[in-house]
Structure 1
């Protein structure tokens, strides 16, 4: 959960930087004449924040994704435990029958058991890498969904920044009057629910 929170913080920071760049990229002066700015013209747009912890615990897409990944982790652990028990049974059987085997049979069985153990370790490594890759892809999808939603709701440049707030994170204080967590969560969950009903 801490890892996902850190990833989401990084993602939101990048999203804010991109929105900031896009906003000021299009703001080129039309004439070469200097424009006098009054204090009212210099006033910036709103800066709001989203509580990342709440976003992660209440966004239905994230919760569903975590359930799927947790289920896959559980299946992998069960599969590895089953393979480990099967190997242990073979080792026990080998130890019981070792006295009745020839040296050649003993060496061949021992080599086969060692190869099976190496195969299990290699399988565990591949499965763990595959699961980590899938988790990374899901985190990217999460980032993309949040970024796209923030970009869409900020289509009229209401916000200059949308910060990701996490207790103990980089933002030491955030005024609750600029907390947009509920609005963003409601919008994200509404879009996710609409996508789920289309499936």
Structure 2
């Protein structure tokens, strides 16, 4: 599965709210220090924050559901191909056992038929592989779009200008204060939104049943 390292990228929001916060902080003077001390990790002071991509993907319910669904499809496709390959091998074995009793023409016809089947199996394997890769790519894009859309709204609400993605061993961020980590807050919001999305068809069905 490649759906383990979704690149969240960088989300930039042009926000006037951030400028307002800075101006208010200047006017509050000593009170600003108290506000900073009371700010939780999910609500850091500043324009730039980050999300831990590894943690987000490991706990985002949509990602887990997509991964499970794609793995099931891959397993089924692999099983189907293995079954066809086994049947082909048995057919080749039968031919090898009876080849000596065939005429040259019969052997040539049989070998051509088996060669075509072998090529068909190879084409089917490639086709299934491409189909699964394409579907995985589409699902990755959907997940990326949902995360990006959520972060845009979240950033506007909180007053952030940029949300960076952090992934251990694969990130330009070598160190950052933990107060800038908004992963858990974002994860909570994403899972709540996904839960509502999953429940929507059920609620619609209940409404239709009452009519």
CA deviations over 1:118-143 (Å, ceiling 9, x no partner)? 00100111111111110110000011
Equivalent residues in 2 for 1:16-55 (5 A)?
16=12, 19=13, 22-23=14-15, 40=26, 45-55=46-56
The secondary structure found in structure 2 opposite 1:172 is: coil
The secondary structure found in structure 2 opposite 1:167 is: coil
Aligned position for 2:198: 196
Aligned position for 1:12: 9
In 2, Cα distance between equivalents of 1:58 and 1:183: 12
In 1, Cα distance between equivalents of 2:56 and 2:125: 32
The answer (yes or no) to whether the contact 1:165–1:174 under 8 Å persists in 2 is no
Equivalent residues in 2 for 1:65-76 (5 A)?
65-76=66-77
Aligned position for 2:178: 176
In 2, Cα distance between equivalents of 1:152 and 1:67: 28
Return the offset for 1:77.
Answer: 1.2
The answer (yes or no) to whether the contact 1:47–1:162 under 8 Å persists in 2 is yes
Q: What number of residue pairs does the alignment pair up?
A: 177
Return the offset for 1:3.
Answer: 6.5
What's the RMSD between the two structures over aligned residues?
2.3
Unaligned runs of 5+ in 1: 28-36
The answer (yes or no) to whether the contact 2:49–2:181 under 8 Å persists in 1 is yes
Aligned position for 1:187: 189
CA deviations over 1:20-44 (Å, ceiling 9, x no partner)? xx448xx9xxxxxxxxx9x949xx9
Aligned position for 2:91: 90
